[in-house]
């Protein structure tokens, strides 16, 4: 049985009345995952570094958009079930600024359990709203985490509501849409190459 089908069946087996409120906890879900034979959970960076196409793998990803405290609890549960996961920290949300020291402590705790930390990249919002140049901004963020003893292993683009609103007002026949991953020049060049009739989106005035 394919892994995604197995997890899907487990999900519906454990659902509550009228398929609404799941009676199971994240702990019980992790226990179910840990029982799957022949499947290894690993971090995104491990997956890239250990290039074994024959191995069955499960990658667990968490985007910490709002609540690093719950993320830490989930990391503990995963660790107790010998699971590894990747946690992406959003740098444009209030907790990152207002609770910075607590957030960094949580990141260190999560990392110490064998999980990995990445940046939930919202560099486009920072650029368009605050004028922060993406390359310099990313460099400063990496140094910031490094100074806190946290190893950043990668980046995952954030689906910013601000950026989505801008995209809704764009002429999509004329421009490629704003995407956080396009701050990396090679991806922007590829997007433009695959869309010869469209241009890079303009900076909103």
Query: What are the residue ranges spanned by the domains of the chain?
Result: 30-157
Read off the DSSP letter of residue 17: G
| 197 or 87: which leads in pLDDT | 87
pTM attached to this predicted model: 0.77
For residue 152, what are the β-bridge partners?
Answer: 117
Instruction: Determine the average pLDDT of the residues in 162-182.
Output: 67
- Worst-scoring range by mean pLDDT, 15-24, 75-84, 100-109, 150-159? 15-24
Instruction: Determine the average pLDDT of the residues in 168-193.
Output: 65
Tokens 């241009």, residue located: 199
| CA-based nearest residue to 151, from 79, 73, 80, 87 | 87
Fold entry, domain 30-157: TIM Barrel (3.20.20)
- Determine the Cα–Cα distance for residues 67 and 103; give it in Å rounded to an integer: 9
Give the Cβ contact number of residue 205 at 10 Å.
Answer: 3
Question: Is the per-residue pLDDT at 111 higher than 90?
Answer: yes
Tokens 């799957």, residue located: 36
Instruction: Report pLDDT for 157.
Output: 79
CB-neighbour burial class of residue 41 (10 A; exposed 0-12, middle 13-18, buried 19+)? buried
- Dihedral angle sign, alpha carbons of residues 81, 83, 84, 90: negative
Instruction: Record the tokens describing residue 155, joined without a space.
Output: 């980046």
What is the per-residue pLDDT across 20-54, written as a single tens digit (0 to 9) for each? 545 567 888 888 888 888 888 888 888 878 877 77
| 131 or 192: which leads in pLDDT | 131
Question: Is the per-residue pLDDT at 7 higher than 70?
Answer: no
């Amino acid at each position: 049985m394919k892994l995604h089908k197995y997890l899907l069946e487990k999900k519906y087996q454990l659902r509550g009345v009228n398929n609404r409120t799941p009676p199971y906890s994240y702990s019980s879900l992790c226990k179910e995952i840990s029982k799957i034979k022949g499947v290894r959970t690993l971090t995104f960076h491990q997956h890239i570094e250990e290039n074994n196409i024959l191995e069955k793998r499960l990658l667990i990803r968490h985007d910490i958009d709002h609540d690093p405290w719950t993320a830490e609890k989930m990391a503990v549960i995963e660790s107790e079930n010998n699971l590894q996961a990747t946690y992406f920290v959003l740098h444009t949300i209030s907790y990152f600024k207002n609770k910075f020291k607590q957030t960094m402590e949580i990141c260190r705790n999560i990392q110490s359990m064998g999980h990995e930390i990445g940046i939930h990249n919202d560099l486009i919002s920072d650029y368009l709203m605050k004028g922060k140049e993406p390359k310099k901004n990313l460099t400063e963020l990496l140094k910031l985490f490094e100074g806190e003893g946290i190893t950043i292993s990668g980046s995952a683009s954030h689906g910013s509501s601000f950026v989505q609103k801008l995209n809704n007002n764009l002429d999509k026949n004329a421009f490629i849409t704003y995407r956080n991953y396009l701050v990396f020049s090679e991806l922007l060049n590829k997007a433009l190459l695959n869309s010869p009739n469209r241009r890079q989106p303009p900076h909103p005035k």
